């Protein structure tokens, strides 16, 4: 069996260190440098010849993170690695998954093409914004399910009148999955956007009177939708409102909005490092999940066995 080596990009070091530790190893030695003009250089400081290489890097902004990942892939291929797998806990540009109006780019497909063109043999990611993005790849895609981490946490809350909510119609399937796991009801917050990152109006479909509501989403960006939904649910008589979201993008006024909202807490993962601390934001680690998935890939075992 080929030796397994795990390396990290510059923006996912904390998560990568935890994944490597959970796998039973340490991160490999790689140099990631920038020239004065911002140009990136990647080089391995140890041999990867004949190795099964896993490169860990979330592709959140800036776009340098994606470029850095592709250079790491190219360096590994040119250094004669047997197989190069990219581990992208947060897959950026995933919201651009289709043509929803004329003359727009499908960013998720562009990213997929770039990763494959660089020479990646496999992609591992978690809670894609749209599951069909897997079809943009012609290489194996391991799409992990973050509910394996979130469900045990929710169970430990011991909430009496649990009900799940989707902050928009697009996330209905994701929220319904959680509701089925707990045998709970489901409500929907139907929103209308004036433009990207700006919600014009929202209404609740379903009854939340006296209920402990958990909003479910794949990511929180500016936190406009999730906090508006939380405030509206509270107005409709909810006893408490929490939110879970895998990817803490948290850009612009997000932290301020979360702090000033009625949310009891926002539970996220460490696929993206937080820019600042918040008394209302709790981070769960996905390191063990990714470590087990890497192990199963190496030993040719089922990935779906990791799902609930």
37 and 20 Cβ atoms separated by less than 8 Å = no
Total-model pTM: 0.93
Instruction: Pull the structure tokens for residue 42.
Output: 């990647």
153 and 111 Cβ atoms separated by less than 8 Å = no
Give me the torsion for CA of 31, 32, 38, 40, rounded to 10°.
90
- Would you tell me how many other CB atoms lie within 10 Å of the CB of residue 258? 23
| Structural domains present in the chain | 4-145+287-306 (3.40.50.2020), 147-284 (3.40.50.2020)
Which residues line the annotated binding site? 37-39, 95-96, 129, 168, 193, 217, 221-225
Which pLDDT score, from 0 to 100, does residue 100 have? 86
- Looking at 191, 236, 239, 280, which residue is catalytic? 191
Which residues line the annotated binding site for ATP? 37-39, 95-96
Known active-site residue 191: yes
Give the helix/strand (H/E) hosting 147. helix 147-157
Which pLDDT score, from 0 to 100, does residue 61 have? 86
The torsion angles phi and psi of 303, rounded to 5 degrees, stand at: -80, -35
Q: Name the nearest CA neighbour of 89 among 258, 293, 304, 306.
A: 293
Which pLDDT score, from 0 to 100, does residue 278 have? 92
Which residues line the annotated binding site for Mg(2+)? 129, 168
**Bridge pairing between strands 30-34 and 40-44:** antiparallel
pLDDT along the chain (308 residues), means of 10: 94 97 98 95 97 97 93 98 98 93 95 97 96 96 95 95 91 92 92 60 86 96 93 94 97 96 97 94 97 96 84
């Amino acid at each position: 069996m080929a030796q397994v080596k795990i390396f990290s990009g510059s923006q996912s070091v904390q998560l990568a260190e935890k994944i490597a530790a959970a796998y039973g190893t340490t991160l490999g030695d790689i140099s990631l440098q920038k020239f004065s003009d911002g140009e990136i250089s990647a080089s391995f400081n140890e041999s990867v010849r004949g190795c099964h290489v896993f490169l860990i890097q979330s592709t959140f902004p800036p776009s340098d993170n994606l470029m850095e990942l592709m250079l790491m892939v190219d360096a590994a291929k040119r250094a004669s690695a047997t197989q190069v797998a990219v581990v992208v806990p947060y897959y950026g540009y995933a919201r651009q998954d289709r043509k929803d109006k004329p003359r727009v780019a499908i960013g998720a497909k562009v990213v997929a093409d770039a990763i494959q063109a660089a020479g990646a043999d496999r992609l591992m990611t978690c809670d894609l914004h749209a599951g069909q993005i897997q079809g943009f790849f012609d290489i194996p895609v391991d799409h992990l399910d973050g509910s394996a981490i979130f469900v045990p946490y929710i169970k430990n809350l011991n909430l009496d009148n649990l009900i799940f909510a989707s902050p928009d119609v697009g996330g209905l399937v994701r929220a319904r999955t959680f509701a089925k796991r707990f045998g709970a009801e489901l409500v929907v917050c139907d929103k209308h956007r004036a433009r990207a990152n700006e919600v014009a109006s929202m209404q609740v479909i379903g009854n939340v009177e006296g209920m402990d509501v958990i909003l479910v989403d794949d990511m929180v960006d500016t936190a406009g939708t999730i906090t508006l939904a939380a405030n509206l649910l509270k107005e409709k008589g909810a006893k408490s409102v929490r939110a879970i979201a895998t990817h803490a993008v948290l850009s612009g006024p997000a932290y301020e909005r979360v702090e000033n909202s009625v949310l009891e807490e926002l539970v996220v993962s460490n696929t993206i490092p937080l820019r600042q601390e918040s008394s209302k934001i709790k981070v769960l680690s996905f390191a063990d999940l990714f470590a087990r998935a890497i192990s199963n890939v190496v030993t040719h075992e089922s990935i779906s066995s990791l799902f609930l």
